[in-house]
Amino acid sequence: MKSYKIISLFLLILLVKNSFSQKISGKVYEEITVESKNIKEYLPGANVYWVNVSGGSVTDNNGQFEIDPPASYPATLIISYVGYQSDTLLINKQESNLKIELKRDIELAVFEISEREKTSSVSLISPIHTETLSEKEFTKAACCNISESFETNASVDVNFTDAVSGTKKIQMLGLDGAYTQIQIENMPFVRGLSAPFGLTFIPGTWAKEIQIKKGAGSVVNGYESITGQINIELQKPDNTDKLFVNGYFSEGSRVEFNVHSGQKLNKKWSTMQFAHVSNQSLAFDKNDDTFLDLPIKSQYNFFNRWKYQGEKHIAQFGFRGVYDKIDAGQQASAEIVTPFKINVLSKQVEVFTKNGFLFPTKPYKSIGIITTARYHEHNSTYGLKKFDAIQKSAYINTIYQTIIGNTDHTIRVGSSLVYDDYRNNYNDSLFGREEIVPGVFTEYSLIKNKSSLVIGLRYDYHNLYGDCITPRFHYKYDLTEYSALRFSFGRGYRTANPFIENAGVMSSARTVIVNNNLLPEVAWNYGTSFTHHFKLWKKEMTFDLDYYFTDFENQVVVDIENPREISFYNLSGKSFSHSFQAEYSVSLTKQIEFKAAYKWYEIKTTYVDGLRDKPLVAKHRVLTNLAYFTNFDKWKFDVTAQWFGVGRLPSTGINLPENQLSDKSIAFTTINAQVTRAFKKFEIYVGIENLTDFKQPSPIISAQQPFSAEFDASLIWGSVFGRMIYTGFRFRIK
C-alpha cells in the first residue's frame, strides 16, 4: 500500500511537471484586404517575450511561435514587430493556440524612410501569382488613365492599336487584352464594346491599387480568364482624401483634370465622388503625311459610390457615366477635298451593388452578392467603313464562404448569371446576338505550414453554344521562408466580338470577311513561377521567374496576311503562346530602387497559309526602371527604359514597291523620365515620354491616297508622335 502511494505521488509529480513544462504557442498575423476580402497575412520574425524575463521567442515564416511557460500565472506576454504596434496579453493559464493580430504603426510608417512601402510587389502568400501595383507606382509616370498605368510594369505590355486614333491597348503573356479578364473590384469592366477603349475610361488617380494575376484565375470571378486577371481597386469612400485634384498638360495639347472627394457621413455611412474632364484640341502632323499624329478628343467621366459598414452587413452601390469623343484622320486642305476621317463616339452608363453578410461569431463565414447593369452605345466611322453598336449587359454573382472543420480548409460555392445583348450595324449590315449564361461554381482552398492549394470547378450553360466546364488549379510550396514555387493550370472560355476588338484594323482599306459561324474561343493555360526575396550585401532584393503556356482548343483567328483583307475564322490547326519573364528588383539604398525585367514570347497561329508567328509582336523585350527619393519624398526622380526586339510584319508583297514594308520590324529603345517636387499638400511634376524621339518609319501605308486599295494605318509597332514633354500637379486635403 505504501509503495502504491509512492508510485502515485511520483506519477502526480511527473504529470504536474509535464503540464507546467508545456510551451505556450500561437500565431501572429496582420489582417489585410485582398479583392474586398479580409485575409490573415502571418508575420515572420515577430518578437514574443514575457515581461521582466530575459530571452523569448521569434515567429517563423508562418507566424508561428512557441515559448516556455512563465514561472507562475498570471503573466504578461508582449508581442512586437518593426513597423507595427506592440500588443500585450495577460495569460492566466497554459495556452496552445493563441491568435494575435498586430496593427500597423501609422506614425512609424510616415516618419521612417526605411519602412517605405514598395510601389510594386509579388505576393509570397497567394497560391496565384499576384503582382500588386500601389498608387505610388502610378505616380512614376503621367498615368492619365489605366491603360497608361502599366508603362513602368513588365508584366503588361502597352501598344497602340493603330497610327491615327491614338488609342492604346494592353497585352498579357503576349496575347491581346481581350484574353485577360479585366475587372473593377471583382466586377466586370472591360467586356464587349469597351474592349478597345475601356481602360481609358478610368483615370489612374482613381485607382488605389491594381492586382495582376497571371494564368488561369479564380473560378469565382467567371469563365473568361485565359491569360490572367487584372483587378482594379478604386479609392475607398471611408479611407480616402477629403479632396484630391490632379491636373495634366502635355506638349500635344492634352489637358486633363481629375477630382475625387470622400465624405464619412457617420460611423456606418460614407460616400465618394469622382470626376474627370480631358481635352486634346490642337492638330499635329510632325511627319508631314497629312494625317494627325494625335487625335482631337474629349472625355467626360463621373462616378459616385456609397458604402454602408455595419456589424453584420456591408453594402456598396454606385453609378458611373462616360462620354468619350475622338476625331482623327486626315486634315482637309486645298489639295485634299475629301479627307479620310475617323470619328468615334462612346457613351456608357453603369450601376452596381455589392452586399456582404457577415457572421461576427463565425468570422470565417460570409455571403456576398454582386450585381451590375450596363448600357453602352458605340458609333464610329473609319473613312468609308461605318460601325455602330449597342450593348446591354447585366451580371449577378452570389458567393457563400465557410470552412470545413478548421480554417485550414476553406470552401466557396455560388452561382452567377451573365446577360449580354448586342445590336451591331456594319456598313448597313444589321446583325446581333443575345447571350444568357447561368453558371454554378465551387472552390476549395487548403493552407498548410509550407504549402497552399486552390482547386476550382465551374459549370456554365450558354444559350447559344451549350455546356462549358471550367476547371482551375493553383498550388504553392514554400521552398524557404522567403521563396515560393507555384504551379497552375486552367481552362478559359469567351465569345469574341471581332469588329470592336480589332477596331484598329478599320483604319485601312482592307475588306472585312467574317465567317458566319464563329465559335467560342477556348484555351488551356499552364504556368509555373518562382519568387524569392533575399538580402545580399545588406540590400533587399527580389527575383521572380515565370513561364506560361497558352494552348487554344479554338480561336477566332485574326488574319491580316493578305494586305487587301482582314479575315475572321475558326482555328483549323494549332495556336499557342509561350511566355517567359525574369524580373529582378533591389533597394540599392533606402532611397534608390532599381528593377530590370526580360521577356521572351513564342506565339504561333495556324493561318490559311500555315503555322506562322503572330505579327506585330516583338519576341524579346527588356525593361529597366530606376527611382530615387529624397528624405520625406520631397523630390522624386524616375527613369524607365524599354528595349523592343524584332517582330514579324504581315506581308505587303502585292503592293506597289513604294508601299511595301520589310517582313520584320526594327529593334528600338524608348526612355521615359519624370521629376516630382512635393510640398505639404501640393506636388508638381515634369516629365518626358520617348526621350530618344523614336518614331516608326512610314506608320501609314499610302497615306497620300487613303481611299486606295493599299491604304493601311493598322500595321503599328512603334511610336507615331515621338518625343513629348508634359507637366502637372497634384493637390490633396487629407
DSSP string, 60-124: -TTSEEEEPPPSSSSEEEEEE-TTB--EEEEE-S--S-EEEE--B-HHHHHH-GGGPPPSEEE-S
CA distance 672 to 142: 10
Measured from the Cβ of residue 591, the count of other Cβ atoms closer than 10 Å reads 17
Note down the domain range covering 479. 229-733
Can you read off the three cell numbers belonging to residue 349?
452608363
Q: Say yes or no: 279 and 423 in one domain.
A: yes
Q: Indicate whether 194 pLDDT > 90.
A: yes
- Whether residue 170 is contained in a domain is answered as no
- Whether residue 13 is contained in a domain is answered as no
- Contact between 729 and 683 under an 8 Å Cβ cutoff? The reply is yes
Which of 86, 114, 142 delimits the end of a domain?
A: 114
Q: Indicate whether 193 pLDDT > 70.
A: yes
Query: Per 3-state DSSP, what percentage of the chain is helix, strand, and coil (rounded to 5)?
Result: 10, 55, 35
**What is the tens place of the pLDDT at every residue in 345-389?**
999 999 999 999 999 888 889 999 999 999 999 999 999 999 999
Q: Say yes or no: 102 and 243 in one domain.
A: no
- Contact between 189 and 232 under an 8 Å Cβ cutoff? The reply is yes
Mean pLDDT taken over the chain: 89
Supply the pLDDT for residue 33.
66
Which of 114, 134, 161 delimits the end of a domain?
A: 114
Banded model confidence at residue 196, pLDDT cuts 50, 70, 90: confident
Q: Say yes or no: 103 and 238 in one domain.
A: no
Q: Say yes or no: 394 and 534 in one domain.
A: yes
Q: Say yes or no: 377 and 247 in one domain.
A: yes
When pLDDT is averaged across residues 47-58 and rounded to a whole number, the result is 75
Beta strand pairing status for 57-58 and 64-67? Answer: unpaired
Which residue in this structure is represented by grid cell 494627325? 292
pTM given for the model: 0.84
- C-alpha separations of 178 from 139, 172, 229, 307, 497 in Å: 26, 9, 11, 31, 9
CA distance 252 to 278: 13
Torsion angles phi and psi, residue 17, rounded to 5: -60, -45
Give the SS3 label for residue 2: helix
Q: Indicate whether 181 pLDDT > 80.
A: yes
First-last CA distance in the chain: 80
Give the SS3 label for residue 266: coil
- Minimum mean pLDDT range among 79-93, 328-342, 520-534: 79-93
Q: How many domains does the chain have?
A: 2
Give the SS3 label for residue 198: helix
Q: Please report, for the domain that includes residue 100, its CATH number.
A: 2.60.40.1120
The answer, yes or no, to whether the previous bond of 295 is cis (omega within 30 of 0) is no
Supply the pLDDT for residue 465.
96
Q: Say yes or no: 238 and 93 in one domain.
A: no
Give the SS3 label for residue 234: strand
- Contact between 223 and 493 under an 8 Å Cβ cutoff? The reply is yes
Supply the pLDDT for residue 96.
72
Which of 85, 114, 143 delimits the end of a domain?
A: 114
| CA-CA-CA-CA torsion sign (352, 129, 142, 598) | negative
Supply the pLDDT for residue 116.
52
Strands (E), 405-520: 406-426, 429-447, 451-462, 466-480, 483-494, 511-514
- Whether residue 121 is contained in a domain is answered as no
Which residue in this structure is represented by grid cell 482582314? 566
Supply the pLDDT for residue 108.
34
When pLDDT is averaged across residues 215-240 and rounded to a whole number, the result is 93
Measured from the Cβ of residue 513, the count of other Cβ atoms closer than 10 Å reads 12
Banded model confidence at residue 55, pLDDT cuts 50, 70, 90: low
When pLDDT is averaged across residues 125-152 and rounded to a whole number, the result is 85
- Minimum mean pLDDT range among 107-121, 135-149, 567-581: 107-121
- C-alpha separations of 211 from 30, 192, 230, 299 in Å: 19, 22, 6, 26
- Whether residue 341 is contained in a domain is answered as yes
Q: Say yes or no: 233 and 108 in one domain.
A: no
Q: Please report, for the domain that includes residue 547, its CATH number.
A: 2.40.170.20
- Whether residue 5 is contained in a domain is answered as no
Q: Say yes or no: 103 and 239 in one domain.
A: no
- Whether residue 397 is contained in a domain is answered as yes
Give the SS3 label for residue 135: helix
- Whether residue 139 is contained in a domain is answered as no
When pLDDT is averaged across residues 153-181 and rounded to a whole number, the result is 89
Supply the pLDDT for residue 532.
94
Which residue in this structure is represented by grid cell 471550367? 470
- Whether residue 278 is contained in a domain is answered as yes
